[in-house]
Amino acid sequence: MSDPIIKIQNMNKWFGDFQVLKNINLEVEANKKIVVCGPSGSGKSTLIRCINRLEEHQEGDIIVDGNELSEKTKDIEKIRAEVGMVFQQFNLFPHLSIIDNCTLAPIWVKKMPKKEAQELALDQLKKVQIDDQANKFPGQLSGGQQQRCAIARALCMQPKIMLFDEPTSALDPEMIKEVLDAMVSLAKGGMTMIVVTHEMGFAKEVADEVIFMDEGMIIEKADTKEFFANPKSDRTKLFLSQIL
């Protein structure tokens, strides 16, 4: 077995007095797909935001691709460049066209020549099937198109890991499928993915492991089949019975 690409040990995090994450231990191997589920407020989003240090943890270690994340980490930008993230609210840059959204970071962070960056961006946009919208602005696109663009934007940085923070929660039911399709094909391409989602269908289809979280703790972590077939804890059973 190879070394895990993400390693979280005894991690604790507080917002003020409130402890959001309690004693998190997690290892993710390269090319694995992990789905994180659980009720809202359980700390799922905070957990994956800690992985690229959009949130700072107070105790424990997070090691991403061999780099430990802490206050001392100087080149956090370098680590973030290798960890793509897709947000619930898309967070496209509204003042830039779709293609510029995708080329901005490769050009200025990775110092890629403009032409190469544009070819790469068009390539990625084609994969999520919005290359025909490349010159429009985010405000002119539907939610599903915007989210697919956000996926393409993250992929343009050619990351090793992709984090998805409830990518379909802000979408109309009709648009969820097009985004999930893009994610499924990405998963089949062999990307390491951590996905916070309530789409259990997606979890069954692509996930290697499913993590169930509640009240800041990892309650259950199991292979996908195992997780859905015979969940161990009662909390998980209750959750699954409500969501399925």
Partner 1 sequence: MQTINFLKPNRDNIKNYSIIGSFLVLVSLIDVISNAFLKINLTSFLPGSLTTLFPLIIGLIGLNMMRIDYSGNKTLDLLNKNINTNNFNALLTLLILFSIIKALPQSLSWMIFDATISGDSKDACTGTGACWTYIKVWFRRFMYGMYPNEFHWRINTAFILVIGLGFVGYFMKENLKKYLALYYVIIYPVIAFLVIYYLISGGSFGLQWVETGAWGGLSLTFIVSFFCLIFCFPLGMIFALGRRSNLPAIKYISICYIEFWRGVPLITVLFMSSVMFPMFLPEDFFMDKLVRVIIAITLFEAAYCAEVIRGGLQSLPRGQYDAAKSLGMGYWKMHIFVILPQALKLVIPGIANTFLALVKDTPLIFVVGLAELAGMLALAKTNPKWLGFAMEGYIFASIIFWIICYAMSKYSYNLEAKYKTER
Residue 183 DSSP label: H
Contact in structure between 46 and 167 (CB atoms under 8 Å): no
CB of 145 to partner 1, least distance (A): 14
When asked if residue 175 is in the footprint of partner 1 (CB under 8 A), the reply is no
Give the neighbor-by-neighbor strand order of the sheet with 4-15.
18-29, 4-15, 59-64, 67-68
When asked if residue 234 is in the footprint of partner 1 (CB under 8 A), the reply is no
How far is residue 7's CA from residue 51's CA, in Å, rounded to a whole number? 9
* Residue 242 CB coordination number (10 Å): 8
Contact in structure between 162 and 86 (CB atoms under 8 Å): yes
When asked if residue 92 is in the footprint of partner 1 (CB under 8 A), the reply is yes
When asked if residue 141 is in the footprint of partner 1 (CB under 8 A), the reply is no
When asked if residue 139 is in the footprint of partner 1 (CB under 8 A), the reply is yes
Q: Which of 50, 152, 154, 179 binds partner 1 (CB under 8 A)?
A: 154
Contacts of 41 (CB under 8 A, 6+ apart): none
When asked if residue 80 is in the footprint of partner 1 (CB under 8 A), the reply is yes
Q: Which of 105, 171, 180, 186 binds partner 1 (CB under 8 A)?
A: 105
Of the candidates 193, 186, 189, the one whose C-alpha atom is nearest the C-alpha of residue 209 is 193
Q: Would you say 10 or 135 has its CB closer to partner 1?
A: 135
Residue 100 DSSP label: H
Binding segment toward partner 1, per CB under 8 A, in 106-114, 118-126, 198-206, 207-215? 106-114
How far is residue 112's CA from residue 105's CA, in Å, rounded to a whole number? 9
When asked if residue 81 is in the footprint of partner 1 (CB under 8 A), the reply is yes
Exposed/middle/buried for residue 146 (C-beta within 10 Å: 0-12, 13-18, 19+): buried
Binding segment toward partner 1, per CB under 8 A, in 6-14, 59-67, 102-110, 189-197? 102-110
When asked if residue 109 is in the footprint of partner 1 (CB under 8 A), the reply is yes
Binding segment toward partner 1, per CB under 8 A, in 16-24, 28-36, 93-101, 200-208? 93-101
When asked if residue 44 is in the footprint of partner 1 (CB under 8 A), the reply is no
When asked if residue 70 is in the footprint of partner 1 (CB under 8 A), the reply is no
Contact in structure between 149 and 99 (CB atoms under 8 Å): no
Residues binding partner 1 (CB under 8 A): 49, 52, 54, 77-78, 80-85, 87, 89, 91-95, 104-105, 108-110, 137-139, 150, 153-154, 157, 163
